[in-house]
Amino acid sequence: PALARAESRSPCDGQTPVSCFIPTRDSLLWSGVRTSGMGVGCHRELLLLLLVVGMPASLAGSQPQQQRKWPVPYRRFDYRPKTDPYCQARYTFCPTGCPIPAMKDEDVIEVYRLQAPVWEFKYGDLLGHLNIMHDAVGFKSSLTGKNYTMEWYELFQLGNCTFPHLRPDMDAPFWCNQGAACFYEGIDDVHWKENGTLVLVTTISGTMFNQMAKWVQYDNETGIYYETWTVRASPDKHAVVWFESYECSKFILRTYQKLADLGAVFNKIQTNYTSITLFTGEPIYLGNETSIFGPLGNKTVAAAIRDFYYPFKSHQSIEEFFLNVLKIVDQVVLNHQFYLFYNLDYWLLPIKFPYIKITYEEIPLPNEDNTWVGL
């Protein structure tokens, strides 16, 4: 029942698609394999994703809007829950990864910025021309000569993290939206260099690497849900940010910041990152699954949310696909609204022009004069 069925080849082609391996709470971190197309992906649903937004404002509930601090803080959890067997990935999540090794304190480790176009292994630099990029970080040990790659992406592909399943046996939309960190031996030099970036950004000690590894375990066990959208008041640089995305690039930014906190000094190079942004007036809080879809929930709002997500369902015929595109244009562009699921809560967004935009903006590396503050 996976929403996004990628048709490109991946390192795990030929394997039977199965639910991803779920580590115990005591495991260091999710093991990984290169899947650079799993970030801001080129799924069929991306066509719909670029048209999104809809439903009447009168359905937004009757509770007065509370004074809120923006952006809404990303919610962290005490531990990572098991995924439901219903959630299936077209390609197995991180099938050839390894635990993060303990480095010797005296080791000198080079840290590399890795970036390549999404789905580069199938489309080459095509999506690179649109600045749709995936980010990772590489490490090379001077003592062992071994190198490693670390990244963060969706367990069940981008479509499942962006739109839910509408199951006939459930009133509430059903989400398969976990993301996790991957760590694996080796850096695919050709993949990152040919159409992307492989550049040294800093050098750290083995002690700093081991401290970073402990932080990665915490970050991975507490930040568990992928959030596709950045939501802003306007394209203006100083506009209010309502919601921050939580995806591959944010993990890399957090990793760089952690290394800076541990004493790493970064080289002065320009670093840009991809973001999919919705533009909206002040969001309206609707409630969580229980308050909307439970026995005492708001049936009108519940029906509106289900109706909004219906055109994004998986496994559509060609005729259904084009009919649903028209529905999305009607809901999104004409009615100027969008239902967002964030922190397990539902929000109504009064979308406004230019509605949605893929941006590729500079976020500098951490240094003494410029510290990145994020999720």
Residue 307 belongs to a domain: yes
- Residues contacting 323, CB < 8 A, separation 6+: none
Q: Residue 177 CB: number of other CB atoms within 10 A?
A: 23
The secondary element (H helix, E strand) that includes residue 207 is helix 206-222
The secondary element (H helix, E strand) that includes residue 334 is none
Residue 79 belongs to a domain: no
- Residues contacting 105, CB < 8 A, separation 6+: 205, 206, 207, 210
Strand ranges (E), the chain:
108-117, 133-141, 147-154, 179-185, 197-205, 229-232, 241-243, 272-280, 284-288, 338-342, 345-349, 351-362
Number of domains in the chain: 1
- What pLDDT shows up at residue 330? 65
Residue 359 CA to residue 310 CA, distance in Å, equals 27
Q: Residue 82 CB: number of other CB atoms within 10 A?
A: 8
Residue 332 CA to residue 339 CA, distance in Å, equals 10
- What pLDDT shows up at residue 66? 63
Given 43, 134, 191, 336, which residue is catalytic? 134
Q: Give which of 46, 50, 47 is closest to 338, Cα–Cα.
A: 50
DSSP 126: T
- What pLDDT shows up at residue 313? 77
SS3 content of the chain, % helix, strand, coil (to 5): 25, 25, 50
> Rounded to whole angstroms, what are the CA distances from 116 to 47, 89, 269, 366?
21, 22, 17, 21
Low-confidence ranges of the chain (pLDDT < 70): 1-66, 316, 321, 324, 330, 334, 368-375
Question: Model's pTM, two decimal places?
Answer: 0.82
Residue 355 belongs to a domain: yes
Residue 23 belongs to a domain: no
- What pLDDT shows up at residue 119? 75
- What pLDDT shows up at residue 331? 74
3-state secondary structure of 249: helix
Residue 228 CA to residue 42 CA, distance in Å, equals 13
- What pLDDT shows up at residue 264? 97
Residue 50 belongs to a domain: yes
* DSSP H helical ranges for 223-283: 248-261
Domain span at residue 269 reads 42-65+84-362
Residue 198 belongs to a domain: yes
Given 42, 176, 248, 336, which residue is catalytic? 248
How many residues are given for the chain? 375
Residue 134 belongs to a domain: yes
Residue 205 CA to residue 263 CA, distance in Å, equals 10
Residue 31 belongs to a domain: no
Catalytic residue check, 134: yes
